[in-house]
Amino acid sequence: MNIANLRQLFKRDLNKLKAEVEAYTTEDKLWLPLEGISNCGGNLCLHLVGNLNAFIGAEIGNSGYIRHRELEFSQKDVPKVALISQIENTILIVDSTLESLSEEDLCNEYPIVVFKEKMTTGYFLMHLATHLAYHLGQVNYHRRLLDQ
């Protein structure tokens, strides 16, 4: 595994998330629920920012971030500019944290048990990258459905 590749993937997809949020034609569409879709683009954005700040920023980088996961799905009508600012801050936190790691650190055990068993930091970072990509696709789909 390569830290430079992880940094590149997180930056790429977080910048794509920023572009998706910017691409919503009106702010209210970020928060519109759609039949058959559990979460709107705004809440998925809050979830991704919270997830990465908690699992990378706080657990690995000791940023002091405190996650309020329930708000990621219940909070509404956060201004687009605030979401974009949160994404930009997350890019900085994730990148600086990953930059501080060595390749050896990726083989170490992740500091907390997230799933039912222990895993390496490298494995969990790959999981977080795919989690970001998964929800990024959902944001894109939500936006495109509303902009038809």
Domains along the chain? 3-146 (1.20.120.450)
pLDDT tens-place string over residues 120-134: 999 999 999 999 999
CA–CA dist 110, 72 (Å, integer): 24
SS3 labels along 82-104? HHHHHHHHHHHHHHHHHHCCCCH
Tell me which residue of 11, 25, 2, 1 sits closest to 132, measured CA to CA.
Answer: 11
- Total-model pTM: 0.96
Q: How many CB atoms lie within 10 A of CB 6?
A: 21
- Residue 108 has what DSSP assignment? S
Whether the CB-CB separation of 97 and 56 falls below 8 Å is answered with yes
Backbone angles phi, psi at 85, to 5 degrees: -60, -40
Is 1's pLDDT higher than 80?
A: no
**What pLDDT is stored for residue 141 in this prediction?**
96
Give the residues across from 120 on adjacent strands.
109
pLDDT band at 147 (very low <50, low <70, confident <90, very high): confident
Q: What is the mean pLDDT of residues 101-105?
A: 96
pLDDT at 17 over 70: yes
Span 29-59, pLDDT tens digits: 999 999 989 899 999 999 999 999 999 999 9
Query: In whole numbers, what is the pLDDT of the chain averaged over residues?
Result: 96
Residue 148 confidence (pLDDT)? 72
